[in-house]
Homo-oligomer: A and B are copies of this chain.
Amino acid sequence: MAEALTGEAILAATEEVLRRYGPAKATVVDVAKALGVSHGSVYRHFPTKAALREAVTRRWLDAIHVEMESVLDAGASAADNLRAWLQHLFDRKRLSHVDEPELFATFKVLVSESRIIPEYHLGHLVGQIARIISAGVETREFVTDDIQRTAQAVWDATQMFHHPAHAQEWGNPHIQDEFDAVVSLVVAGLRYNRIPSATGDA
């Protein structure tokens, strides 16, 4: 009856079930029930429960990637762009964590379930940082001889403000000040950074 069962409809229903019951309680049977079909039908579109969850997660992360794209070159200088981009990512994650802690926890679990998904997410975002740095190097605002490595270093140095393991600290009233201090330190480093391998020399 009704329309044909599509992968998209299953994804939407899965997201809704995850919102309602959380990652521990959401079952394939629940999803099928929400769609008014038997759970066998769901397995016609997704080979396993893990694949279904992964597809939902990827869809959610892609929305973030698209949103972050739009902040890539909003400012006048590369430093402004980098700061704005990091601030935007931080604000988004922090708001999500504060306003919808259960949903945030749900996606935290989903992301950690797969080995591919975090790689995908990280690779994408570090790539965006690399593009900002690359633009800064071209205008001689930044100095580095290995853009990819430096982008990874910027990502690593700001882990505290995007890695979910640190989410509990995002409620701290001083967190924005700590963010500013770290980003200032990193931006100052980008202006004069010469990483070759080990000994940094002035």
Contacts and interface: CB of A to CB of B under 8 A. Distances in A.
B185 A190 contact: yes
A181 B156 CA distance: 9
A5 interface: no
Interface residues of A, number: 35
**Dominant secondary structure at the A interface:** helix
Nearest to A146: B181
Nearest to A198: B180
A197 B158 CA distance: 18
A129 interface: no
A149 interface: yes
B159 A178 contact: no
A195 B166 contact: no
A197 B185 contact: no
Interface in A118-152: 149-150, 152
Interface of A: 79, 149-150, 152-154, 156-160, 163, 165-166, 177-178, 180-182, 184-195, 197-198, 200, 202
27 contacts: A79-B200, A150-B181, A152-B181, A153-B178, A153-B181, A153-B182, A153-B184, A156-B178, A156-B181, A157-B158, A157-B160, A159-B166, A163-B166, A165-B165, A180-B198, A184-B189, A184-B195, A184-B198, A184-B200, A185-B189, A185-B193, A185-B195, A188-B188, A188-B189, A188-B190, A188-B193, A189-B190
